[in-house]
Structure 1
């Protein structure tokens, strides 16, 4: 029996861990929290903050394993380093750099002549001190070179004053101090899951994204498979495969963020791990028929992935609207989780606390994930379920989405 180390053990990791076990793998879960839900699902649990790469390698030193899977951006460096130390399939040093620095990633794509949003690079220290790069394209997207994902620290600015003000609020999320200032490109946004095995990429899924109204950085709805993205599948596939080649990818999986402008795709960024949360499982398997955890576990343990597909359905991942005030009650959510077409539903807001502010993807109220035979039906059903939930706040009678 082969053993897989999974770096990440939150609640959303548990379905993927269980799926990997169903393929006959022994799973060792690693997480910094002693209370990580994966402790009760994995075959073995190691408490370790995997952002500390040497400590993670040392914590696993006495364990024999055949592959290592990172489930978030913080885990990519540790997974890549440990795979190289043990001569296992994984990311080389150049690929690791591209995945852990948007500066390196963007330079790689620009030097390869790939279409990506125009940008300049700076540092938090330089910008706060008023030393600005040559840039005249406003509005612009300001983002950290590395923050751990989840849209942490990303904001839109209309001038240098707003850049400085924005950085003063989120500078702590710019973990390496590097800043990417990028043109604000209007178009439709999409995510793509691309698995690479022995240097050969396979496009698994394409989603369409919709941000919250009036918000340029936080996603409210995702559609799997994405009707808009799939209408340009050939162009998207050609572009992300070229990006994989430019980054010298060999074995692993990637989560691409792509924008389509006037019918042409533009690269935004990429992570060297599966899409966050339920993307890894069960979203990919339900919406494409591909057994994503099984494919990745096979690729990263030296095996050959089986790309046989099962029948697929449509999914809509719909987050609840935001609101103001302190929550007094949440009405109607309990009934949602019992519906047969609901794959999953979670509520992150808590009674007695202020409603979440959408400062990044981690500050969304909660969601419902709905399956159906068509995108239109899934979209309509998800909207009705979201509307059925009432958020009652202390300063008003009710806040109905």
Structure 2
């Protein structure tokens, strides 16, 4: 776009992980207005205009937008902004998924209800609100293990855990409630054995295309946190076709007709099973990774679609390698950390960072909030990218207040 065509874009969310997306939007000639309730959010300073406003304070947001001459599109950077983006777009008459579709895509119970009609990609589940109901639901499901998760949360594996027996129900129920939004129910579903994956999917005018599929390494049970997402997933061509069909059915069932969807699923011996869907790009650096892997700049395409502009490149043109490796350290009080220059300057490291600061107390890994940092490695293929991430995990370290030093957990040592 040239200056005469520059579109005003309201970006909902401005945390550290959103900065690169905001920078990309500006490079692509969007005029960026970023809203985040945290006045210190780094994305506010990166935007053309920063609005320190809560995403759910709709009237204040609308007034601020109007003061700057309105916007042409609205995009959410994370789960928290999906419903506000749909609501504000409707109020302003902008292109968007419907409010009903946004509600479906932010409720794990609604997803399960809709997907049950598809049949073959679904799993047995129940929705409860008390511990007593949880025990009854488990009896109806018939066997352990099961997964407890909040119906509505802000993502990040908050409140998600596996339950092997009745003695674990109380702890899992309280954990699910602690990760849930106010008045949220709890979803209990049959645990599915297989390899977990995530797919980035572009939809325009009801037509969907899978851009790339990542393969996950998860945290030790009972929690379900991503430790690594590696691209491309090790899947046979015929399996990719089945997964593509499943993604299309999942998106259609929730009423999504445009934008990017981040779909998580398990590939089992009997085929793929849906876990959940986000009506937005995958979190953190996933859009940049998808760009490298697939050749499609999914975030910029999402920005274009939010303004009613047809995607420039809706289909993948490549299948390169990447590893989104999260830095996991033992618990303790942080006194400092080290990222050597040879790591920061490595040509195959897209980004690396420690999300802690001196004095922070790192807790045991239960949700994404306990991940201490990240490294994004890119290469021509998956193996090379993962080897670079493994090497990085041997270079980076954290120092604790007792003087001890730790390297991050390295999946290559499993």
TM-score by length of 1: 0.91
C-alpha contact 1:207 1:229 (8 A) present in aligned 2: no
CA contact (8 A) 1:141 1:154 kept: yes
- In the alignment, is residue 108 of structure 1 matched against residue 114 of structure 2? yes
The equivalent of 1:17 in structure 2 is 22
Q: Deviations over 1:227-253 (max 9, x none)?
A: 338672211110010111111211222
Partner of 2:309: 303
Q: Of 313, 320, 330, which aligns to 2:337?
A: 330
Structure 1 unaligned spans of 5+: none
**Which residue does 1:177 correspond to in 2?**
184
1:228 aligns with 2:235: yes
Helix, strand or coil: the match of 1:326? Answer: strand
Cα gap change, 1:28/1:163 in structure 2, threshold over 3 Å: closer, same or farther? same
RMSD (Å), alpha carbons: 2.3
| Structure 1 residue 267 corresponds to structure 2 residue 271 | no
Q: Against the structure 1 CA distance between its residues 169 and 215, is the aligned structure 2 distance closer, same or farther, given a 3 Å change threshold?
A: closer
Q: For the structure 1 residues 40 and 230, does the alpha-carbon distance in structure 2 shift closer, same or farther, using more than 3 Å as the test? A: farther
- Inter-CA distance 101–53: structure 2 relative to 1 (3 Å threshold): farther
Contact map agreement 2:200 2:260 (CA 8 A) in 1 = yes
Contact 1:66 1:301 in 2 (8 A): yes
In structure 2, relative to structure 1, the CA distance for the partners of 1:332 and 1:344 (3 Å cut) is closer
- Whether contact under 8 Å (2:141, 2:190) holds in the other structure is no
| Contact 2:105–2:111 under 8 Å retained in 1 | yes
Q: CA 1:197–1:330 in structure 2 vs 1: closer, same or farther (change >3 Å)?
A: same
Shift in Å, 1:11 = 1.9
Conserved in 2, the CA contact under 8 Å of 1:128 and 1:164?
no
CA–CA distance in structure 1, aligned partners of residues 51 and 405 of structure 2: 45
Q: Out of 185, 203, 216, which is 2:210 matched to?
A: 203
In structure 2, runs of 5+ residues without a counterpart are 1-5, 409-414
1:8 lines up with 2:13 in the alignment: yes
Give the CA deviation at 1:226.
2.1
> What whole-Å deviation, never above 9, does each CA across 1:125-169 have from its counterpart, x for those lacking one?
x22687733333211110001110000111111234422222334
**Structure 1 residue 315 corresponds to structure 2 residue 322:** yes
Task: Compare 102-111 and 330-339 and name the one that shifted more.
Answer: 330-339
TM norm structure 2: 0.89
Question: Within 2, Cα distance between the matches of 1:156 and 1:147?
Answer: 17
Matches within 5 A, 1:51-200: 51-62=56-67, 63-123=69-129, 126-127=130-131, 132-133=136-137, 134-175=140-181, 176-200=183-207
Q: Distance in 2 between matches of 1:221 and 1:53?
A: 36
- Could you report, residue by residue, the CA deviation over 1:27-83 in whole angstroms, capped at 9, with x for unpaired residues? 111111111212222111212111344443444344411110011111111100111
Q: How do residues 22-33 of structure 1 correspond to structure 2 at under 5 angstroms? A: 22-33=27-38
Contact 1:76/1:100, CA 8 A, preserved across alignment: yes
Asked if the contact 1:71/1:273 (under 8 Å) is kept, the reply is yes
Q: Are 2:72 and 2:307, in contact at CA under 8 Å, matched by a contact in 1?
A: yes
Structure 2 distance, partners of 1:130, 1:19, is: 45
Q: Given the superposition, is the C-alpha separation of residues 349 and 14 from structure 1 closer, same or farther in structure 2, using an over 3 Å criterion?
A: closer
- Alignment deviations for residues 101-142 of structure 1 (CA, whole Å, 9 cap, x no partner): 11111100102325122211111xx22687733333211110
